[in-house]
Amino acid sequence: MSTKTTFKRIALVAVAALGFGVLTSVAPASATDATPTLVTVGTVPVAQVGVVHTTPVTFTAPFAATTDTHTVTVRVISAPAGSVYAGTLGTAKVTAGSVGLSWIDGTVYAGNGGTTVPGKITIESTGTAAANGVVSGLVTGATYPAASALMTHSSWVTPDTTSAAAVKVTPDVAGSYTVLVSTSSRALAGSTAFAAGDASATYTFTTGAAVASVTLAAVTGAPTGGSTNGQIFKVTIKDAAGNATQLATNEAINLTSNVTTTNIGEIAAGCTSSCTATYNGAGVTAGLDNSNFSAGVAYIQIKDATAAAADAVITATGSGLLSNTITSTVGFSTVTGTTFATSAISDVAGVTRPGSGKKGVTTVAAGSSYTDSVSTSVTSHSYAVTVATAPTAAAKVAVNITDTSGQITGLVGAVYSTYIGVAATTGLGTLSVTTAAMLNGYSFTASVGSTAAAAIVVTAATASSSASTIAVEPNSVIKAAYGSSSVLSAVLKDQFGAAVANHVVTITTTGRNASVTGTTLATDANGRVTYTRTDAGTSATTNKQDVVTFTPTSGTAASVTINYVESGLGIATVTLATPTTDDTAASGVTYSDINASSTSGAQATTQTITATVTDVNGTLLVGIPVTFSTASAGAAVLSTKVTVYTGADGTSSASVYG
């Protein structure tokens, strides 16, 4: 399959006028309608003779009004020899009993009498009208194999930039077909032919070989017995060369179970919303034909009304004109679930939120729902689940997932059931969902089954500096001696706790050393800015306080309060951190290497000792000289580190060797 898009003007000799003649009267587009700028072809599936071939196409335009229209034109520009699409209506023949030739009504056959499949071209709406627009006024080309229609958006609350349609072409002979899709703001009745300068794209599809194999595979995990939604499976058909193919007319695949309580349902092919199954009933054979497959894949959903755990074998078998020797099996099992009175959802213990691309949740109480915002780059989603009245033995709890945007299963709006395990005595479990990277606004919902269920709606959002917060390090209140310099820093993070680099932060001071103008700095790769506030006052200065504020260009500001005092500063505590600080009886003693053999002497290898200085209220003290010494035999402090002043974090560090 191939696609290509063109923006440049092309000579009329390259693509001839579509020749539509007299067309149905359709309301013209407004003179203010936006001109489409881009045509994008979606995934092109494999084709089969006599089977409608559907390709999704998106149109981009700077839509700005609540109602916009544009014309969409489709033409088959190349087709295999002998195909009706290789000629014109003048060389075609009409089906018996029809009143005329029409590319949109399926009444056109190849004039040489070599085909029994009519040619047909249509353009149809897809998805919701609010999101993709509505196709109307479909008209047939009067000569060449083409069709045109009007795409209308109306009643938008917030206009977007795209519309979408499904282009449908029925191949009549085996081989490759190339389709030109174009769009413009010209009125449908006035000009429906492609014109140089129109936004356009072409795509090619090829008919597949005969089906040679079928396979079944699970898409989601096993459900609990009696679940409402069941488990989703994928059915894949391929030709003898291992390529995806399509069922031909009157070919089918039957799906059966060896358990009479199994209920199998089909999910519509190519669905763009509400991709839910239509169940056939317990013990009833399900059937798939070419309308169920797209790109060689169909989806089914299976459930069992029996509450107890059950095991079944699902068999797919060729039917109709497809040989019954083409067959495959897959296992389907359910587990016994436990329904608890209540359930709650929270962040997994020990994780930092916001962090790792997630904002995090407060505990979602039983019977309520909560929306968690995650970065568009996050694909792994885990939450802690707690059930009321912890079981005496490990249990399984049903979970219902709504794949709102199709990023879990590939099926937009699919709803399926699965389960999580909860531990004995604690009632704790973990809900884990894996998705593709989601676009801004994409989401899914997980509801933990209980009498009063808790639900989490996970919605993707683009990281935004406007939603950022800046935090000062390491404390918002410090003490400093008169005339000292305080080195302050702040870190800017987005709503997901990730550092925001290269963002402008303005630093201002009010109080004792008030600034006339702000100082602007850019955050480094770690989202950090560092600023030195030097005290110009003396002990006689009345105002004893500065408030230094860090304000990002967008986001929330943060401040550091500096209280100036005499050099004594009211020191209450000096705490040392050494390589052995975290040692316990269980962990044993941490030993630090020496470097006695170095030609540079023992001081070539040192260990860091850090002192943290605070006052009686635990406030960090800045600008305090700390003198380090040791009475241990053979050990010493580097001469350049004997006396070190505390920084804005209230710490100073020395280097010790032995």
* CATH code of residue 443: 2.60.40
The DSSP result for 357-420, as a single string, is TB-----B-TT-EEEEEEETT--EEEEEEEESS--SS-EEEEEEEEETTSTTTS-TTEEEEEEE
Is pLDDT at 445 greater than 90 in this prediction?
yes
336 closest CA partner among 361, 313, 304: 304
Query: Which of 195, 245, 202, 186 has its CA nearest to residue 57?
Result: 202
Share of the chain above pLDDT 90, in %: 55
Q: Find the mean pLDDT for residues 620-631.
A: 85
- Cβ neighbour number for residue 330 with a 10 Å cutoff: 18
Q: Are residues 181 and 34 in the same domain?
A: yes
d(CA 257, CA 314): 5
pLDDT tens per residue, range 267-307: 998 787 889 999 999 999 999 999 899 889 999 999 999 99
Residue 342 maps to a domain: no
Closest Cα to residue 480, out of 528, 544, 430?
A: 544
Among 21-35, 51-65, 132-146, 504-518, which stretch is predicted with the lowest mean pLDDT?
21-35
- Same domain? For 15 and 155 the reply is yes
- Assess if residue 427 is contained within a domain: yes
Q: How far apart are CA 303 and CA 279, in angstroms?
A: 9
Give the integer Cα–Cα distance in Å for 507 and 547.
10
Structural tokens at position 151 = 């795409």
| Mean pLDDT, rounded, for 252-263 | 97
Q: Which pLDDT belongs to residue 274? A: 86
Residue 16 lies in a domain: yes
What is the model's pLDDT at position 646?
Answer: 83
Residues 6+ apart with CB under 8 A from 430: 348, 382, 383, 384, 385, 420
Q: β-strands 558-565, 545-552: how paired? A: antiparallel
Q: Looking at the predicted structure, is the pLDDT value of residue 20 above 50?
A: no
pLDDT band at 143 (very low <50, low <70, confident <90, very high): confident
Same domain, 555 and 584: no
Residue burial 29-59, b: 16+ Cβ < 10 Å; e: rest: beeebbebebbbbbebbbbbbbbbbbbbbbb
d(CA 184, CA 203): 18
State the Cα–Cα distance between residues 75 and 554, nearest whole angstrom.
Answer: 49
- CATH number of the domain enclosing 279: 2.60.40.10
pLDDT number for residue 296:
92
Residue 639: phi and psi, rounded to 5, are -60, -30
Q: Is 221 helix (H, G, I), strand (E, B) or coil?
A: coil
Spatial separation of the C-alpha atoms in residues 230 and 302, rounded to whole Å: 5
The confidence score (pLDDT) of residue 13 equals: 28
| Number of separate domains in the chain | 5
Whether residue 535 is predicted with pLDDT greater than 90 in this model: the reply is yes
Residues 434 and 497 placed together within one structural domain of the fold: no
pLDDT at 192: 63
Q: Is the pLDDT of residue 2 over 50?
A: no
- If asked whether residues 551 and 578 sit together in one domain, one would say no
Q: Which of 509, 532, 565 is the last residue of a domain?
A: 565
- The predicted pLDDT at position 64 comes to 63
User: CB-based contacts of 143: which residues, under 8 Å, 6+ apart?
Assistant: 18, 19, 20, 21, 88, 89, 90
Judgement on whether residues 246 and 280 belong to the same structural domain of the protein: yes
Is residue 370 in a domain? yes
Strand partners for 533: 486
Placement of tokens 């191949």 in the chain: 171
Q: How far is CA 452 from CA 340, 415, 444, in A?
A: 8, 19, 20
Whether 93 has a pLDDT exceeding 90, the answer reads no
Looking at the structure, do residues 617 and 582 belong to the same domain, yes or no? yes
- The two three-digit tokens of residue 307, written as one number: 């509450």
Structure tokens at 632: 């241990």
Q: What angle do CA 393, 394, 397 make, to 5 degrees?
A: 125
CA dist., res. 256 & res. 260, Å (int): 9
Q: Domain check: are 165 and 259 in the same one?
A: no
C-alpha to C-alpha distance for 5 and 201, rounded to whole angstroms:
4
**Does residue 560 share a domain with residue 440?**
no
Torsion of Cα atoms, 319 then 325 then 328 then 332, to 10° = 60
Query: Which structural domain range is residue 503 located in?
Result: 465-565
- Is 453 inside a domain boundary? yes
**Rg, C-alpha atoms of the chain:** 35
Residue 344 lies in a domain: no
The torsion angles phi and psi of 279, rounded to 5 degrees, stand at -80, 150
- Look-up of token digits 């050494």: 578
How sure is the predictor about 479, in pLDDT bands with cuts at 50, 70 and 90?
confident
Quote the CA–CA distance of 72 and 191 in Å, as a whole number.
11
Q: What pTM did the predictor assign?
A: 0.72
Q: What is the DSSP string of 120-171?
A: EEEEEE-S-HHHH-EEEEEEE-SSSSEEEEEEEE-S-SS--SEEEEEEEEE-
**Given this model, what pLDDT does residue 65 score?**
61
181 shares its domain with 40: yes
Q: For residue 22, is pLDDT > 50?
A: no
Task: Give the DSSP letter of residue 502.
Answer: S
Residues 71 and 151 in one domain: yes
648: nearest Cα among 490, 472, 487, 529: 487
- Residue 100 tokens read as 């005329």
Q: What is the mean pLDDT of residues 568-596?
A: 75
The torsion angles phi and psi of 89, rounded to 5 degrees, stand at -60, -25
pLDDT, tens digit, 9 for 90 and up, residues 299-354: 999 999 999 999 999 999 999 999 999 999 999 999 999 999 999 999 988 888 88
Most confident of 384-393, 412-421, 640-649: 412-421
Q: Is 7 exposed, middle or buried (0-12, 13-18, 19+ CB in 10 A)?
A: exposed
Distance between alpha carbon 209 and the CA centroid of its chain, in Å?
A: 35
- Average of per-residue pLDDT across 141-152: 88
Joined together, the tokens standing for residue 121 give 């071209």
- Do the domain assignments include residue 498? yes
| Chain mean pLDDT for the chain | 86
Q: Which of 460, 475, 509 is where one domain is finished?
A: 460
Range with lowest mean pLDDT among 224-228, 392-396, 600-604? 600-604
- Residue 59 and residue 201 share a domain: yes
Q: Is 14 exposed, middle or buried (0-12, 13-18, 19+ CB in 10 A)?
A: exposed
Asked if residue 579 has a cis previous peptide bond (ω within 30° of 0), the answer is: no
> Is 346 part of any domain?
no
Residues 144, 87 contacting (CB under 8 angstroms): no
pLDDT digits (tens, 9 = 90+) for 218-249: 999 999 999 989 999 999 999 999 999 999 98
More confident residue, 12 or 406: 406
Task: Give yes or no for residue 361 having a pLDDT over 70.
Answer: yes
CA-based torsion, 193, 196, 200, 203: positive or negative: positive
Binned at pLDDT 50, 70 and 90, residue 149 comes out as very high
Query: Domain ends where: 142, 177, 206?
Result: 206
Q: What's the mean pLDDT in 577-598?
A: 73
89 vs 657, which has greater pLDDT?
Answer: 657
Indicate the pairing of strand 108-109 with strand 176-184.
Answer: unpaired
- Give the model's pLDDT for residue 1: 41
478 CA to centre of own chain: 43
Alpha-carbon dihedral 314, 315, 321, 323, rounded to 10 degrees: 160
Give the Cα separation of 502 and 497 in Å (integer). Answer: 16
Q: Please give the single-letter amino acid code of residue 414.
A: A
- Residue 148: band (very low, low, confident or very high) from pLDDT cuts 50, 70, 90: very high
